[in-house]
Amino acid sequence: MTERAIRFDDGEGYEQMMGKWSQMVGSIFLDWLAPAPGLRWVDVGCGNGAFTDTIAQRCSPEAIDGIDTSEGQLAYARTRPGARLATFRQGDAMALPYPDQSFDIAVMALVMFFVPDPDRGASEMVRVVKPGGTVCAYVWDILNGGFPLDVLQEAMRDVGMKPLLPPSARISPMEPLRTLWSDAGLEAIETREIIVQRTFSGFDEFWRTSQLGSGIGPRIAAMPDDRREALKARLRERLPFDANGRITIVARANAVSGKVPA
């Protein structure tokens, strides 16, 4: 199995696992970005529309285009309340199907490290944004323990399983992300660390939720029973239970924003 095996095709499963995390980070990100109302947005790698819907609810956009490789994710996105303002289509982040200077803002939410060629992905966002417009993104700090499922990945390593990483995980720390924006020719570059947390009622909820809508679930399902039980036991040892058996997971994302030269 290779890194390319990480796929997100189950929109409903993704919503229960990563969609909730995305909306928490996305709300803080938009507060930081503070965009004007009435703008045209493109949400590149929109997935099941979690962040697209947050834009629609919080930013009073004129319109939003969402693009993603997965038709299953897009089908879920079209059911969201914010879909009334959005147009969703299947496509490639490295070859956006839009003319030059079509949008005021281009954004990638938890996506850039999945783009095989991040430089090309950033350049495509710059191409489709008007001069003076904004190109922005946020990614989990996956190489420095910021991923919401980092504790599960560490438990997987404990039992001899190598977690799958996105193909471009190298750009997830802050400095490589800033350099990516600078190399794309963007100006007035700003960065922001975003920390969020989510509480689970207990082990069973965390275990079930962590396997939804990601490449982790199928790998765990394919494990022999004894090895799966060993993984669960190691995970229990690593999880931060409180006195009531609840689990609070802290995650960290790196955000970047820049302006297209006028």
pLDDT in tens, 220-233: 989 999 999 999 99
Domain ranges of the chain: 3-147+164-197+251-259
pLDDT of residue 258: 98
Instruction: Compute φ and ψ for 60, nearest 5 degrees.
Output: 45, 55
pTM recorded for the entire structure: 0.90
Return the amino acid letter for 60: S
pLDDT of residue 23: 84
DSSP the chain: --GGG-----HHHHIIIIIHHHHHHHHHHHHHH-PPSS-EEEEET-TTSHHHHHHHHHS--SEEEEEES-HHHHHHHTTSGGGGGEEEEE-BTTB-SS-TT-EEEEEEES-GGGSSSHHHHHHHHHHHEEEEEEEEEEEE-GGGT-STTHHHHHHHHHTT------TTGGG-SHHHHHHHHHHTT-EEEEEEEEEEEEEESSHHHHHHHHTTTSSHHHHHHTS-HHHHHHHHHHHHHHS-B-TTS-EEEEEEEEEEEEE---
Return the amino acid letter for 27: S
CA dist 77 → 15, 37, 52, 94, 219 (Å): 10, 22, 8, 21, 26
The stretches in the chain having pLDDT less than 70 are 1-17, 19, 213-214
Indicate the Cα dihedral angle 202, 154, 213, 98, nearest 10°: 130
Q: Which CATH class is domain 3-147+164-197+251-259?
A: alpha beta
Tokens standing for residue 245: 């058996």
Tokens 């997987």, residue located: 156
State pLDDT tens for residues 112-125.
999 999 999 999 99
Asked if residue 103 lies in contact with residue 41, where contact means CB atoms within 8 angstroms, the answer is yes
